[in-house]
Amino acid sequence: MSGLMTLADDSGLEVDALGGEPGVMSARYAGQGATDEDRSNYLLAKIADVPWEKRTARFKCVIAIAIPGQQIRLCYGTCDGYIAYQPKGTNGFGYDPIFYFPELHRTMAELTFEEKNGVSHRGKAAHQAHKLLVKLP
C-alpha cells in the first residue's frame, strides 16, 4: 500500500438482449487484440436480428476513491440508450459509434465533447467524485 489517496475507475457496456454482455468484459469482448471496430462489429453481429425496442443498453461507470484510514467511497454513473444497427459518428471511442442516445437523437460518437461529458456515465461518476473530493480537508 502506498498510504496515499487513490482513485480508480472502470466502465462497461451492458446490452439487455445479451443478458448484460459485454459488461466487465467490454474491452476484451471480441478477444485479445481486437480493435474498437472489431468489438462493435462482434456485438452488432450477435444482436443482428434483435428488434429496436429490445436493443436497450447502458454504459456504467464506477469510480472508487480510497483514502487511508477511511472507508472506500464509490461514485456511480449510468447512461441509458440503444444499440444502433450500424456505427455512426467519429467522436469518442469504444462502443460510442453504436450507442444511440435517445435524448439527443444521436450516437455517442456524434456528440461533441461537451455534450458527451454532460450525459455520459463517466461524466456523471466524475461529477460525483468531484463533489466528494472538493469537500476533503
Residue-wise pLDDT tens digits, 13-52: 999 999 999 999 999 999 999 999 999 999 999 999 999 9
Domain boundary assignment for the chain: 6-134
Cβ neighbours of residue 135 under 8 Å, at least 6 residues apart?
A: none
pLDDT in tens, 57-84: 999 999 999 999 999 999 999 999 999 9
Cell of 99: 450507442
Helix (H) or strand (E) holding 130, with range, is: helix 121-134
pLDDT in tens, 104-133: 999 999 999 999 989 999 999 999 999 999
Give me the torsion for CA of 77, 82, 86, 88, rounded to 10°. -50
What architecture does CATH give domain 6-134? Alpha-Beta Complex (3.90)
Check whether 2 has a pLDDT greater than 90.
no
Is position 96 annotated as part of the catalytic site?
no
- The active-site residue, picked from 9, 10, 80, 96, is 10
Alpha-carbon span 122 to 48, nearest angstrom: 28
Cβ neighbours of residue 45 under 8 Å, at least 6 residues apart?
A: none
pTM (2 d.p.): 0.90
